Each structure stands twice: as C-alpha cells, then as structure tokens.
C-alpha cells in the first residue's frame, strides 16, 4: 500500500486502567519491539506508543508522564474519567489516526504477546488493511472465563453478528480502515462487531494468550456480562425477533388450549381447577415482562444514540517527540 521507499509509521495504542503494576514492563517490551521493527525496516523511525489513561486511580498517568520524558517513543492521552476499555481504545485510535500509516491496539497487561506485532507488520506489507490477532489457546484463562467467552462468541454468531472467533481487541488497522472506523458514530460502541463491517483486505494471525503480567483483570463477571449484553443488543435485532416469535407460538398454543377447553365443556366435563389458569396467567405475564424489558433495552439504546454525547473527554495530551505534527492533511 505504501509508496516505494516509504516505511509505514506504526502507532501502538494501549488503553490503561489502573495498570501501574504492568506499565514498566509493557513500556520496555513494546519499546524493544518497536526498535526491532525499525531496525528490520518494517516500520518508520517515527513509530510510537500511545498510552491512553482511562481515568486510572493509581499512578498510571504519572508513570506515563515519566516514561514520556525519557523515552521518545512514548506518548500519552489522559481521559477526564473512566469510560471503559472500548471507548478508551477508540480515543487512542482517533488520536493516532492522523499520525500513522497503521495502528495496533493491544491491552496493557501483556496477555497479548507483543511479538505478534511483527507478524501484523508483515501482513500489512503484504497489503492487508485489517489483521486480527486470534487467541489460539486460552489455557491461562480460567475454565470459567473460557467457557463464558465461548458461549458469548457462539451466541453472537447465532444472532447474526459477524465477529471473529477468539479475537479480542488485539489487531492492526491501516490508516484507511481507521478512517472508515471513524464514520461509525455509535454510542454503544463494540469494536469487535464494528471492525468486521468495514471490510477491506482482512487476515488473521494466531498466537497463544498469556497470563496477565501483573495486577488483576478489570473485567469481573459483572462487567463481562454487561459487555456481552451490550454487544448483543447493539449489533443484532435477533432478540427482538425471538420475542415476536415466542409471542406467535404462545398465541397458537392458547388457540389450541381454548379449543380444547370448549370441547371439554361441551362434553360435560365440569370446570377444571384454577391451577392451570393461574399458571398460564403467570407464564404469559412473565413473557410479557421479558419482552417489555427487551424492547426497553433497544429504546434505551436509541435514546443514547439520539443524544450524541461524546464518548470520551480528553484531559491531557502528551505527544511523543518523534510523532509527526503534520495534522493538517
């Protein structure tokens, strides 16, 4: 894609939320990777890392500032408050877009092997616009996390959302893919569902997911469930269709049941107990409530979209010394 003789500028975007424990190691591993890629002439010397501090309450931002003063490849973006992984990542990608030829998004905790970035770059040079990092094994995740994640991917697929199996947000995107991403103005942002909608030349790179280097997961079960729920309802209307289908089925059943009771009555069988009546009342009541809740969920999403609130607010912005300042294109 790039012009002959022009090496691509790579920006590595790293969302960080309370990551003071891993940050020193992450910075040194990513720096080493960048230096190596520069030496191998896979990327331009102006390549950099962009750490997005997602409203951390620990020393994450202080560390980013500290590294920035000694490491020319470090730049930082401080968000005004915690907006969650997806929005923090988007903030970083948007910030990097004008300064790079391609960007890689990676978690701060080194679960995604930084070595893979080299393979991403090789694929980029082969002409791919989007390269997905796919987790080959998740042995280091708990059995629980693995099975819930598995169910989530299956469910998403069934619901018609085109998401990559075992791909988290470890991926490379070319500048033109990033420009297209910017056009998806969704408030309920779920990058894993949106990126496949962009299209272009896409490929995969497989890797083994490692143990979190330090600190603990910022995705406890509650957040994971919320994430899955958000993902499903913002990408698919299947749930709402299922409700309609259930409504039809219930209607058919009740027609049959009504016929049956009329026949019973005509045959002279006296009124049967109210138990069944009560049960069905409860049943239908339950279904109705679920349906209403689900519809409410979609309406809530529309409500949020309509307001068009900003997804994140930038507090401070540190440029890497080597970042090109030519933003006026």
Which residues of the shown chain bind ligand UDP in the complex (CB under 6 A)? 15-17, 19, 54, 82, 84-85, 88, 107-109, 111, 217-219
Pick 125 or 146: Cβ nearer ligand UDP: 146
Strand ranges in the chain using DSSP code E only, listed in sequence order: 10-16, 48-53, 74-79, 102-105, 130-137, 167-174, 202-208, 314-318
Dihedral (C-alpha) 256, 258, 260, 263: value to the nearest 10 degrees?
Answer: -140
CB of 108 to Mg ion, least distance (A): 8
Strand ranges in 96-150 using DSSP code E only, listed in sequence order: 102-105, 130-137
CB of 91 to ligand UDP, least distance (A): 9
CB of 16 to ligand UDP, least distance (A): 5
Pick 219 or 282: Cβ nearer ligand UDP: 219
Helix axes 60-70, 23-39, angle to 10 degrees: 30
Pick 53 or 323: Cβ nearer ligand UDP: 53
Q: Select the residue interacting with Mg ion from 54, 109, 129, 141 (CB under 5 A).
A: 109
**Which residue has tokens 């990676």?**
106
- CA 13 – CA 76 distance, rounded (Å): 9
For the chain, how are helix, strand and coil distributed in percent, rounded to 5? 50, 15, 35
For residue 16, the partner it binds in Mg ion, ligand UDP, none, with Cβ less than 5 to 8 A by kind, is: ligand UDP
DSSP 140: T
- CA 138 – CA 213 distance, rounded (Å): 15
Pick 68 or 78: Cβ nearer ligand UDP: 78
Contact status, residue 173 vs residue 195, Cβ threshold 8 Å = yes
For residue 129, the partner it binds in ligand UDP, Mg ion, none, with Cβ less than 5 to 8 A by kind, is: none
Pick 85 or 175: Cβ nearer ligand UDP: 85
Pick 44 or 79: Cβ nearer ligand UDP: 79
Torsions phi, psi for 214 (to 5 deg): -160, 170
The footprint of Mg ion on residues 111-140 (CB under 5 A) is 111
> Residue 233 has which token pair?
């309802």
CB of 212 to Mg ion, least distance (A): 5
Q: Would you count residue 56 as binding Mg ion (CB under 5 A)?
A: no
CB of 214 to Mg ion, least distance (A): 11
CB of 207 to ligand UDP, least distance (A): 14
Pick 149 or 318: Cβ nearer Mg ion: 149
CB of 307 to ligand UDP, least distance (A): 21
For residue 17, the partner it binds in ligand UDP, Mg ion, none, with Cβ less than 5 to 8 A by kind, is: ligand UDP
Q: What are the angstrom distances between the C-alpha of 108 and each of 71, 75, 145, 231? A: 17, 14, 19, 22
DSSP secondary structure string for all residues of 271-282: PPPHHHHHHHHH
Residue 313's SS3 state is: coil
User: CA 36 from chain center: how many Å?
Assistant: 29
For residue 218, the partner it binds in Mg ion, ligand UDP, none, with Cβ less than 5 to 8 A by kind, is: ligand UDP
How many Cα atoms sit within 13 Å of 74 on the Cβ side?
24
CB of 261 to Mg ion, least distance (A): 57
Pick 111 or 180: Cβ nearer Mg ion: 111
Q: Which residues bind Mg ion (CB under 5 A)?
A: 107, 109, 111
């Amino acid at each position: 894609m790039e012009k002959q003789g022009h090496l691509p500028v790579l920006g590595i975007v790293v969302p960080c939320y309370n990551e003071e424990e891993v940050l020193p190691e992450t910075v040194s591993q990513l720096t080493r990777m960048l230096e190596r890629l520069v030496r191998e002439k896979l990327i331009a010397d102006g390549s950099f890392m962009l750490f997005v501090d997602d409203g951390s309450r620990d020393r994450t931002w202080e560390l980013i500032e500290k590294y920035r003063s000694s490491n020319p490849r470090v730049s930082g973006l401080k968000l005004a408050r915690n907006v969650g992984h997806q929005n923090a990542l988007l903030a970083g990608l948007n910030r990097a877009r004008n300064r790079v030829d391609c960007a890689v998004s990676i978690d701060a905790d080194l679960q995604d092997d930084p070595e893979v970035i080299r393979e991403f770059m090789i694929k980029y040079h082969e002409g791919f616009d989007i390269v997905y990092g796919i987790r080959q094994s998740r042995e280091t995740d708990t059995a629980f996390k693995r099975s819930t994640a598995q169910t989530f991917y299956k469910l998403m697929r069934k619901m018609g959302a085109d998401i990559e199996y075992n791909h988290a947000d470890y991926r490379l995107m070319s500048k033109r893919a990033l420009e297209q991403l910017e056009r998806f103005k969704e408030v309920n942002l779920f990058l894993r569902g949106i990126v496949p909608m962009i299209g272009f030349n896409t490929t995969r790179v497989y890797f083994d997911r490692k143990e979190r280097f330090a600190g603990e997961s910022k995705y406890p079960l509650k957040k994971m469930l919320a994430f899955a729920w958000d993902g499903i309802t913002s990408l698919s209307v299947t749930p709402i269709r299922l409700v309609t289908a259930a409504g039809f089925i219930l209607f058919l059943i009740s027609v049959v049941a009504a016929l049956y009771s009329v026949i019973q009555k005509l045959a002279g069988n006296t009124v049967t107990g109210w138990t069944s009546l009560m049960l069905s009342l409860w049943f239908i009541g339950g279904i109705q409530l679920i349906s209403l809740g689900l519809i409410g969920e979609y309406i809530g999403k529309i409500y949020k979209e309509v307001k068009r609130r900003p997804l994140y607010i930038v507090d401070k912005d540190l440029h890497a010394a080597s970042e090109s300042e030519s933003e006026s294109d």
